[in-house]
Structure formats: C-alpha cells, structure tokens
C-alpha cells in the first residue's frame, strides 16, 4: 500500500499537474493583467490632464455689410506704339554718300534723309540715252529701206502695165513685193527697239532719282541704321535705313486681354494705365478696338486690344511697357459684402465630433464607417450653385441665402437676399485656447 501511495505524486509530476506549479502560474497571470490595467489608467490620467487645460473656444471674425459704389476693372499689360510708324528703305543698291538726319530729328514730307553715290547710276543713264539714240537711228534707216522697196515695187508694176504684162516676170514682181513687206517689218522692229530703249532710260533715271532717300511723312526719326560709306544691297527685300513715327502726340497702347475677361471689354470704355518710367503717375486712355483674332502664349489665350492715348507732352515713348486698368462696369449705391464672407465655410460636424471623442475611443480606435461618395458629391454640387453668407445670432451661426452680382475682387454686389448695411458677416474663424 505504501508503494502505491508514493507512486501517486510521481505520476502527478509526470503528467504535469503539480498543484504548486498551478498556483505560481496563476499569480504570474494576475500580475501581468494588473500591470496592463495600471498602464491604461496612467495613459488615461495623462490624456485627461492634458485635455483639461486646453479647452478651445471658437470665435468668429466678422465684417459689416456696406452700401456704396462698385467699379469693376479688368487688368491687362501691353506696349505703347505710334499710330503710324514707317520703315524707310532703299530700292537701289549702292554706297551711302551722306546721311542728313539723326535720331529724334523732326522731318517733313520730301525732306532728304540720305544720299547714295550716283556715279554708277549716272553712267547707266548715259548708256541708256546712247542706246535710245541708236534705236532711233535704226528707225530712220528702216524708213529709208521701206521707201526704197516701195518705189521699186511701184516701178515694176508700172513696167508690167506698160508692157501688157510681158515684163517683168511674175517672179520678179513677187520678190519686190516681199522686199517691201520685209522693209516694213524692219521699220516696226526698229520702232520697238526705240520703245525698249526709252523704257530702260526711264528705269535708270528713276533709280538715279531714288538714290536720294526722302521722307514719306511728317514725323520724327526713331531709328537710323546706316552710316556714310556703308554699302546698301537691295536684292529681294529693301533694307531698312530709317524708322519714322508720324505723330508721337497721339499713340496707341496694345494690350493683351485674357479670354476670361474679353467678354466684358468693349469699344469706348475708359481706362487708366501706368508705366515704369513714371510710377506715381497715371495716364488716361480709351478703347478703340478689340480684335477677334486670338494669340496663344505659353498656353494662355489672349485678345489684342487697342487703346487711344494722348501724349501732348511727349513723356510717353514707343516700346514702353504699360499696365492698364480698364473700367468695364460701374454700379452706384449697391449693397456690398466682402468676398471673404462668400468664401467662408463653417466648421463641419465631423470636426466637432472628433474633438469630443472619449478616452476609450482614443486608446482603442474603431474602424471608420463607410461614407457615401454620391451623397458627398451631391452636397458639393448644391453648395456651388447656392451662394450663402453667415452671421452670428445668439452665439450660433445662421446662414443667409443671397444672389450675387458684379465683383471687383474685394467686394461683391448683392442683388437679392436678406442682408442690410451694417449686418456683420462672418469671414473667418479664430481658435482661442483656455
């Protein structure tokens, strides 16, 4: 019996059911669980302590609705150019003998600007005159030949008539008639050579006259591209020697209007522009033309617009870069709201709910619920179609539906809606920590 009793503990140890070991494992598990609970409590205490001193209070920045005038402008940049600018060139080749004007000189129609060396051209004129005289001499010679051939033909005809058709022979008569016709053709050819020689002489005389460069307009010299002794070669294209502006007291401003604004820009509208040379001065202008042809530069589509500019004191110069502000609309005595009020969006409910989440949710976040994208898209579309502004009543945001009109980029005209001058509208939020 004793051996059986001693064998039982050995069997229990062999099977791993020692009661002392069970008590040890049980105590270890409790120690682990207790440590985890203490860690969770400590984290919770820290979070509560931090959030207790950071209570956020939401404040709103407001601006009052105003009543006043609204001016809508379109801004564009461009360059100043003369109304009539002429490039003066040379149709003949040669060497510049003299240059008789300089930059900024006032010139009149027919005034000499430059002269070419005419030695070669004068020789060509003399040659053409000699050729003409030779052609005229050949005409006289041809006329004498015609007269001689006519007389010979008439003599033969008379002899044939007297002889009763016996002499001369028909062959001789035909030969005489052919000689007469040949003489007439020679006379016509000689006269044609005279006409050709006269035309050549006229061309050479014209070239000689064009060796003197004259001003075609009354104006001012903007550019001079030649110096005495320089060779001018006029082949396929006439070289530009001078650039003249007809009248700098009246100029044109060419600006590029963006395609988004061109619908508002019309002929007759007033504008003001500035140039870098006079930063503290503004110049008046008026639109004279809005061109239909488009220009594309770096992917931006613009339309060239011309403005008439008065420059009586000649302070403005061709090529200056100008920034123009075109007045496209004026609204008198309108109800105006700041654009910030139209852009303001109140804090979303999701953000408010996230600030009030429990500690357990912070420690053990749950999987987010699915959202309906179609519903969100529908709300965004409705928001884009409806214009709303917000005001504060009894500490709460209140939405007001409005109908907007023109805008100058800072203020917007309100054409419909329950807003009055002096009503404060929310333009931004300010978070204050306490």
Q: What is the pLDDT of residues 248-268, one digit of tens each?
A: 999 999 999 999 999 999 999
Confidence of residue 434 (pLDDT cuts 50, 70, 90): very low
Question: Structurally, how many domains does the chain consist of?
Answer: 5
Q: Express each pLDDT in 87-123 by its tens digit.
A: 999 999 999 999 999 999 999 999 999 999 999 999 9
Asked if the model's pLDDT at residue 432 lies above 70, the reply is no
**Domain stop point among 188, 210, 232:** 210
Distance CA 278, CA 275 (A): 6
263 and 240 in a single domain? The answer is: no
For residue 121 the two structure tokens come to 């051209």
How is the chain split among helix, strand and coil, in percent rounded to 5? 40, 35, 25
pLDDT at 94: 92
107 and 231 in a single domain? The answer is: yes
pLDDT at 380: 41
97 and 241 in a single domain? The answer is: yes
Q: Express each pLDDT in 171-230 by its tens digit.
A: 999 999 999 999 999 999 999 999 999 999 999 999 999 999 999 999 999 999 999 999
Report the CATH number that the domain containing residue 99 is assigned in CATH. 2.40.50.100
Domain that includes residue 376, residue range: 58-68+336-361+370-433
Q: What's this model's pTM, rounded to 2 decimal places? A: 0.64
Q: Which residue has the higher pLDDT, 309 or 234?
A: 309
Per-residue pLDDT averaged across 150-158, rounded? Answer: 93
Would strands 66-82 and 300-310 be described as parallel, antiparallel, or unpaired?
A: unpaired
112 and 239 in a single domain? The answer is: yes
**Average pLDDT score over the chain:** 84
Q: Express each pLDDT in 7-45 by its tens digit.
A: 455 555 554 545 555 566 667 777 777 877 788 877 777
Largest Cα separation within the chain, whole Å, is 197
Asked if the model's pLDDT at residue 370 lies above 50, the reply is no
Distance CA 265, CA 328 (A): 6
Q: Which residue has the tokens 């009661």?
A: 19
pLDDT at 356: 45
96 and 240 in a single domain? The answer is: yes
428 and 340 in a single domain? The answer is: yes
**Domain stop point among 192, 225, 246:** 246
Report the CATH number that the domain containing residue 348 is assigned in CATH. 2.40.420.20
Confidence of residue 299 (pLDDT cuts 50, 70, 90): very high
Report the CATH number that the domain containing residue 155 is assigned in CATH. 1.10.287.470
Would strands 231-232 and 270-275 be described as parallel, antiparallel, or unpaired?
A: unpaired
């Amino acid at each position: 019996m004793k051996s059986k009793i001693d064998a039982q503990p050995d069997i229990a140890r062999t099977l791993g059911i020692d009661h002392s070991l069970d008590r040890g494992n049980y105590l270890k598990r409790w120690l682990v669980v207790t440590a985890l609970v203490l860690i969770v409590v400590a984290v919770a205490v820290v979070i509560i302590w931090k959030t207790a001193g950071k209570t956020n209070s939401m404040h709103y920045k407001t601006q009052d609705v105003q009543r006043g005038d609204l001016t809508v402008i379109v801004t564009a940049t461009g360059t100043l150019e003369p109304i009539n600018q002429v490039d003066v060139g040379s149709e003949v080749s040669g060497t510049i003998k003299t240059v008789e004007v300089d930059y900024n000189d006032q010139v009149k129609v027919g005034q000499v600007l430059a002269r070419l060396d005419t030695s070669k051209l004068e020789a060509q004129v003399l040659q053409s005159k000699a050729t003409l005289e030779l052609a005229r001499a050949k005409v006289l010679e041809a006329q004498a030949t015609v007269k001689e051939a006519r007389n010979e033909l008439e003599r033969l005809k008379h002899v044939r008539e007297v002889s009763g058709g016996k002499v001369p022979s028909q062959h001789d008569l035909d030969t005489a008639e052919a000689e007469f016709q040949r003489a007439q053709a020679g006379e016509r050819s000689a006269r044609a050579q005279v006409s050709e020689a006269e035309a050549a002489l006229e061309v050479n005389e014209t070239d000689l006259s064009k060796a003197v460069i004259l001003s075609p307009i009354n104006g001012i010299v903007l550019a001079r591209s030649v110096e005495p002794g320089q060779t001018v070669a006029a082949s396929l294209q006439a070289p530009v020697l001078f650039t003249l502006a007809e009248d700098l007291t009246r100029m044109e401003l060419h600006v590029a209007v963006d395609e988004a604004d061109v619908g508002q820009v019309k002929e007759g509208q007033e504008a003001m522009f500035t140039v870098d040379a006079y930063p503290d001065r503004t110049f008046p202008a008026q639109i004279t033309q809005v061109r239909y042809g488009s220009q594309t530069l770096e992917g931006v589509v613009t339309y060239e617009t011309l403005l008439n500019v008065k420059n009586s004191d000649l302070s403005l110069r061709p090529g200056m870069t100008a920034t123009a502000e075109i007045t496209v609309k004026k609204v008198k005595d309108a109800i105006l709201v700041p654009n910030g009020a139209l852009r303001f969006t109140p804090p979303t409910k999701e953000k408010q709910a996230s600030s009030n989440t429990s500690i357990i949710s912070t420690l053990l976040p749950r999987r987010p619920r699915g959202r309906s994208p179609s519903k969100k898209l529908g709300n965004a579309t409705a928001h884009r179609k409806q214009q709303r502004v917000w005001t504060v009543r009894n500490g709460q945001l209140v939405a007001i539906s409005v109908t907007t009109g023109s805008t100058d980029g800072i203020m917007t005209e309100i054409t419909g809606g329950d807003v009055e001058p002096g009503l404060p509208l929310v333009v931004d939020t300010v978070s204050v920590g306490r």
